[in-house]
Amino acid sequence: MGIQDDDIAAVRNATDIVAVISEHVQLKRVGRRWQGLCPFHQEKSGSFSVNAEEKLYYCFGCGAKGDVITFVREVEHLDFVGAVEKLAVKSGVTLRYTDEGQNEGRKRRTKLLDAVSKASDWYHDRLLSSPDAAAARGYLRSRGLDGDDVRNFGIGWAPEGWDELARAIRVPDDVFVEAGLGFINSRNRPTDAFRGRIMFPIHDVAGANVGFGGRIMPGVDGAKYKNSVDSAIYSKSKLLYGLHMAKADIVKADEAIICEGYTDVIGFFKAGMPRAVATCGTALTEDHVKLLRSFAQRVVLAFDADAAGQNAAARVYTWEKQYDLDIAVAVFPGGADPADLAQSDPEALAAAIAEAKPFLKFRLDRVLDSSPLDTPEHRARAADAAMAVVLEHPSDIVRDQYLLEVAARLRLDPDQLRNRRPTPGGGGSGPGSRSNTSATRPQNPSQPLVHRDTAATEALRHLIWDPESITPLLDEVLFPDPLAATAYRALLATASVADAIEMAAADDPVAGNLLQRLAVEEPESTVQSVMIRLVDDAANASMAALQAEARVAADPFAVGEAIRWLNLRIMDLREQEGSLNEDMEAMYDLLAWLTESENDSVDHDEVRHV
């Protein structure tokens, strides 16, 4: 899907980035920029800055950066086109798509979403008012759900009839099928996919109704739950039930609760913890984890994690490291179902979440609590089973901490466990051998790359914030650092800072990140002082080169004359630092010499005439 470049630019230019970000972050003006708490990670002091003139943002804490389109994509979890379309509505820009086929694709998605929305409304009305839904209403009441809950979560009822939905909403057959609402039977007639089920509408993170989870009535044959088939708008491995309603509290608490069932989610909401979600008929996937990590760092599994088994442990530890997550497991009293506990003892439900155990701690306790420890033989077997769980963890430090816990609980010497344990993954080099996993694990993708601050970076700030004053004075010879030089060239070659960031990032992502950061940092020095520092640095580098040349030159006196002249000019330059001498004669002399030296071989006899 593509939108014409002119229209994308028009949306960027017409959108007030401060107004858009202020819908999610409280900003205050600091000089010419705006500052607030970052919406992408938890912090107590504001490290999130916005340049309203260039329409760019940057977080010094987590490295989040971009323009207004990037911000909307990240904070509302939309694709690029969706973010542009949303901003276009705000700014009054009419969009044109790059070709008719792409435009038709967008229209097709809208038709599918409209069909699902019509079905959801029809199912919901049926549950509220139809006589054939009486048993479903009674079942929901038995699970502690009242009329307000049914309305808040849009719960519905799919009747037993084979084509009642198809006849009621009257959408084209191809849309009906593609939206996952039914199929075409052998008599070439549309047939409902869901029949005789309580319907839980499933939304994407932006709130669009994309599918359903249908629960069969108790005592009726058939699968307990049936979910919409994967389609252009529905992908069960990427969707989480209730996330569109829970995301605000997830961000506030920096914690997401993952349940097995839809009624569990509703139970958490009713118990005052509206940060619960559920998978939609599938196991927890990496896509789910990535989605949740954009809202919170802590994830609590509110179901029996033993069901995942040992094979899931490696994935959980990988997710914890790769996405900087803390994954914990809630243990409910008596193995109670969260939905039932929410109804009978909401305080116990809240306590179970607050006291959730780290994933490894949970699995280790399960092993030790179920093992007899009354004889040395039993304790030895328990030690083997416990260490098998501990050794699954990739961190040496974490493994050793839990090894000490195992030793204490089994009344064993920790060294006995250390000396008998294999290296994780098998095939270790002997007792106490160390794993090399830490050297190969991926780094945190959100960690910013911050280039050290120099006279060159301060000059680049001036070039961004006050280009008219400093541009005539600058030359690439003043930027010997490759990253700063890449950023400088990009700023000169483009019409906007956003374009310069894109150009610099294409050459070197770190240079692009450097420019993004500098775009939200105002200069702290005058143009005069930064030019003196820049030229001083470049002149000293040239001095070092001349001194090295003098040591091997056939006529060291010729080089010595150049060194003498350059040394006098550097002394004059430093005398100007901090003064109000606007002509900056020494700086101009040195800059002219540096520029000529860069472009031509130095004629030392001509130095005195510069």
Contacts of 427 (CB under 8 A, 6+ apart): none
* Domain spanning 100-227, CATH architecture: Alpha-Beta Complex (3.90)
Contacts of 68 (CB under 8 A, 6+ apart): 12, 15, 17, 20, 21, 55, 87
Residue-wise pLDDT tens digits, 220-273: 988 899 999 999 899 998 999 999 999 888 888 889 999 988 999 999 999 999
Query: Per residue, what are the HEC states of 593-610?
Result: HHHHHHHCCCCHHHHHHC
Q: Are 34 and 24 in contact (CB under 8 A)?
A: no
Q: Are 587 and 531 in contact (CB under 8 A)?
A: yes
**Which H or E run includes 143?**
none
The reply to whether 240-363 shares the fold of 100-227 is no
Which of the four pLDDT bands, split at 50, 70 and 90, describes residue 537? confident
Residue-wise pLDDT tens digits, 38-57: 888 777 778 899 999 999 99
Residue-wise pLDDT tens digits, 156-196: 999 999 999 999 999 999 999 999 999 999 889 999 999 99
Cα separation of 101 and 79, whole Å?
A: 18
Cα separation of 22 and 13, whole Å?
A: 17
Question: Looking at residue 99, what is its pLDDT?
Answer: 60
178 burial via Cβ count (<10 Å: 0-12, 13-18, 19+): middle
Residue 559, pLDDT > 80, answer: no
* pTM for the model: 0.61
Residue 438, pLDDT > 60, answer: no
* Tokens encoding 231: 């389609």
CA 361 to chain centre: 27
Q: Are 610 and 596 in contact (CB under 8 A)?
A: yes
Query: Per residue, what are the HEC states of 344-384?
Result: HCHHHHHHHHHCCEEHHHHHHHHHHHCCCCCCHHHHHHHHH
Which of the two residues, 133 and 579, has the higher pLDDT score?
Answer: 133
Which of the two residues, 357 and 610, has the higher pLDDT score?
Answer: 357
**Arithmetic mean of pLDDT, 115-133:** 96
Residue-wise pLDDT tens digits, 85-103: 888 878 888 877 766 555 6
- Range in 297-311, 408-422, 450-464, 509-523 the model is least confident about: 297-311
* Domain spanning 5-91, CATH architecture: Alpha-Beta Complex (3.90)
- Range in 167-176, 200-209, 301-310 the model is least confident about: 301-310
Which of the four pLDDT bands, split at 50, 70 and 90, describes residue 141? very high
Residue 604, pLDDT > 50, answer: no
What rounded mean pLDDT belongs to the chain?
83
Largest CA distance in the chain: 108
Query: Per residue, what are the HEC states of 87-108?
Result: HHHHHCCCCCECCHHHHHHHHH
The domain ranges of the chain are 5-91, 100-227, 240-363, 371-440, 455-609
Which of the four pLDDT bands, split at 50, 70 and 90, describes residue 74? confident
Which of the four pLDDT bands, split at 50, 70 and 90, describes residue 24? confident
φ and ψ at residue 243, rounded to 5 degrees: -65, -35
**CA-to-CA separations, 591 to 145, 562, 606, in angstroms, rounded:** 78, 15, 15
Question: Looking at residue 403, what is its pLDDT?
Answer: 92
Cα separation of 407 and 470, whole Å?
A: 67
* Tokens encoding 97: 């798509």
Q: Are 162 and 186 in contact (CB under 8 A)?
A: no
Residue 594, pLDDT > 70, answer: yes
CA 16 to chain centre: 23
Question: Looking at residue 532, what is its pLDDT?
Answer: 85
Task: Tell me the percentage of the chain whose pLDDT exceeds 90.
Answer: 36
Task: Tell me the percentage of the chain whose pLDDT exceeds 70.
Answer: 87
**Strand pairing class (209-216; 276-279):** unpaired
* Domain spanning 240-363, CATH architecture: 3-Layer(aba) Sandwich (3.40)
Radius of gyration of the chain (CA): 33
- Per DSSP, 18 falls in state H
The three-state secondary structure class of 302 is coil
Cα separation of 415 and 421, whole Å?
A: 10
Neighbours of 184 (CB within 10 A): 14
Cα separation of 235 and 232, whole Å?
A: 8
* Tokens encoding 265: 């989610």
State the amino acid at position 460 in one-letter form. Answer: L
**Strand pairing class (56-59; 28-30):** unpaired
Neighbours of 552 (CB within 10 A): 8
Question: Looking at residue 549, what is its pLDDT?
Answer: 73
Residue-wise pLDDT tens digits, 319-354: 888 888 899 999 888 878 899 999 999 999 999 999
Residue-wise pLDDT tens digits, 218-235: 989 888 999 999 998 999
Question: Looking at residue 526, what is its pLDDT?
Answer: 87
Which of the four pLDDT bands, split at 50, 70 and 90, describes residue 423? very low
**CA-to-CA separations, 199 to 32, 210, 266, in angstroms, rounded:** 52, 13, 14
* Tokens encoding 55: 């329409």
**CA-to-CA separations, 490 to 63, 452, 580, 591, in angstroms, rounded:** 21, 19, 31, 21
Which of the four pLDDT bands, split at 50, 70 and 90, describes residue 425? very low
Q: Alpha-carbon dihedral of residues 263, 264, 269, 271, nearest 10 degrees?
A: 120
